[in-house]
Structure 1
């Protein structure tokens, strides 16, 4: 077989692997949920500091994010998909809105995102997770699409 491989064929061939693509266009890795509870889609995570091949909720203002949880209600200790690059939905800090084209980073609330219309200083820039692809109003547990990438 030669030529292009379809999204469906790729996912079929990699179904039992530790990597894949989301339907929205993100690259995910399967890691263990070590967040202390059931997963919440859009939560920003770091590499676990206590469990191999696992993720913890990203602490407030951290410069160490590695991904965003893709699935809801995955129990603690179970495999969970974590988007590590590309298009992903991320939880905004409650009450904050999202604006298309803005810079996105880890907020002062663990596991949540904030946005800025300008490039932040170097310390804040290390908290970068990507750039906004969607404008949404603020609220509680609001998800916004971003183009995910890390420093």
Structure 2
């Protein structure tokens, strides 16, 4: 059942761009939680799914940016916990990528995430691997 759930999450996130914000966050948290199960097959499949989902989130942001280069967006509220709420002009996919990257940094530093609510653990090695892949695969995002 867990493997089918991971497959479904991946299909939902790779075939359309309608899953954003809290729904996306919950889907990612679900994949992370399954990554820390005792079953090796589920663990490895969930790890691969998390890697793919992180990539998809940043690919969506790049595609969104290319589609809307000349359009000025209305401010979007970036929701987090406590005093981390701020108004931003980020488009929906950019907001998702920002929140994900921020929380990966938080988790690597053993701090509580703001967006990935319910994440209780992540190995530093896995977190650093995810951050490295984002920085290697999407340098243009950080150089703009």
TM range (shorter): under 0.3
Q: Which has the higher helix share?
A: 2
Q: Which has the higher strand share?
A: 1
TM-score, normalised to structure 1, is 0.27
